[in-house]
A = this chain, B = another copy of it.
Amino acid sequence: MVEAITPINEDFTQWYTDICLKAELVDYSTVKGCVILRPYGYAIWENIMHLLDARFKATGHENVAMPLFIPESLLQKEKDHVEGFAPEVAWVTMGGSEPLEDRLCVRPTSETLFCDHFAHVLHSYRDLPMKYNQWCSVVRWEKTTRPFLRTREFWWQEGHTIHETAQEAIEETEQQLETYADFCENELNIPVLKGKKTDKEKFAGAEATYTIEAMMHDGKALQSGTSHYFGDGFSRAFGVQFTGRDNTLQYPFQTSWGMSTRLIGAIIMTHGDDEGLILPPAIAPYQVVIVPVAAHKPGVLEKAEELRARLSKFVRVKLDDSENSPGWKFAQWEMKGVPLRLEIGPKDIENGQCVLVRRDNREKAFTKLENLEAAIPALLDALGKSLYARAEANRAGRTWTATTMDEVLERAGGENGYIKTMWCGNLACEEMMKEKAGLSSRCMPFAQEHLSDVCPCCGKPAKAMVVWGKAY
């Protein structure tokens, strides 16, 4: 039998690790803190890349490739940025057998490289906007790591754009956050909370950081995508200029935005259950797995192969014709989270039907073979909507309001979840929430509510509503 995994409500951390390994998403590598994306894990990432890339291109973004290295002298040009990233980068100090004069860091993010390039290629307002994206891996020298959530190397996309006006750049920042939110909700079936980060939590060097936060099964938050507005701070630091409409030299306004393989962690921890992974149909490497029953009986394998060929025209389908038992295959493909299982045996063939089993609720539907073209997409769609509804219900059941510090502390001592409070806007109170309640500010949601007039920490007038939580 397929080896069982740790039950989800017994030890969530071990359950997560079990899925990463037993669904064959990753392997640990000899390089400490770095993982290997195995074929099944990489296929999920390929589907994510494919869907996101199409969205970026539809909104006029172009892909480029920047160097992997950043000279130390370049990294140092923007003060806040270098302070934020220098402590956690890997340094190349030797090329071949010779020491480097200006050592190189392996990119933790590429704002500095893009600015340097923009300074070369930007001349006139007619060249604007420049809307670039790159797919690559980046390196941050983390001390504690977990597959997908925090690894020293991870894979992502980073968009970098420059614009003629601040207004345009802010609109780009917002548009890309909307793209991320829509992608998470409609393709990954994960509800997200959209908002602005506090100054404490924003990106090193940004004027403003927008975020989408997803709530995991255990009530902890996962920052799932961010979009940054830089004003003209980097442009000034890097001397990026253009001749404006009025013939004067001007600095463009800049954004960047990123999503990463962390999304695979979000998928696991939002949708998975005691049997393993449950994959959103939009990014599942296989949306349907065909398992022949009594495969040795005449005609069964042939029929299964005929169905595979037919289904491959409209879904990603796998026929498991290996020598393992049907029961083993059921467990194996449940572990791997394939949304639908199609079982077909001699009796089904006689009756011109098959069994379709949903991964999420195990509902079985006897389906006439001639109806598969309609039934499968409908079931996949329903499954995606169910995943979303279940995640939304979990989030709703774990979201609370607090107006006093006592309420905050009482809530924070119980189950994980979101705690909504008003906030005065001061760093001191944000730090107090961390110290006393163990909570970090997830964001100031775009959808603000008025819960009370004052900050529960200091009693001073409130400036905004903040959602707090524990985060990965």
Contact = CB atoms under 8 A, between A and B. Distances in A.
Residue among A31, A62, A141 with the most chain B CB within 10 A?
A31
Contacts of A31: 67, 69-71, 104
Contact of A97 (B35, B37, B43, B87): B87
A401 to B, nearest CB: 40
B113 A66 contact: no
A30 interface: yes
A78 interface: no
Given A27-B117, A66-B36, A113-B29, A90 B95 contact: yes
A88 B37 CA distance: 27
A437 interface: no
Contact of A106 (B45, B106, B120): B106
A143 to B, nearest CB: 9
A89 interface: yes
Contacts of A97: 87
Interface residues of A, number: 52
A29 B67 contact: yes
Nearest to A38: B64
Nearest to A131: B39
A448 interface: no
Interface string A117-149: 100110000000000100011010100000000
Contacts of A132: 39
Contacts of A96: 87-90, 141
A65 interface: yes
Given A39-B62, A42-B64, A34 B69 contact: yes
B117 A74 contact: no
A68 B106 contact: yes
A134 B166 CA distance: 40
Given A64-B37, A88-B96, A94-B91, A69 B113 contact: no
Contact of A36 (B42, B65, B104, B153): B65
Contacts of A66: 29, 36
Contacts of A36: 64-67, 113, 117
Nearest to A91: B94
A101 to B, nearest CB: 10
A179 interface: no
5 tightest Cβ-Cβ pairs between the two chains A and B = A39-B62, A91-B94, A34-B67, A37-B65, A95-B141
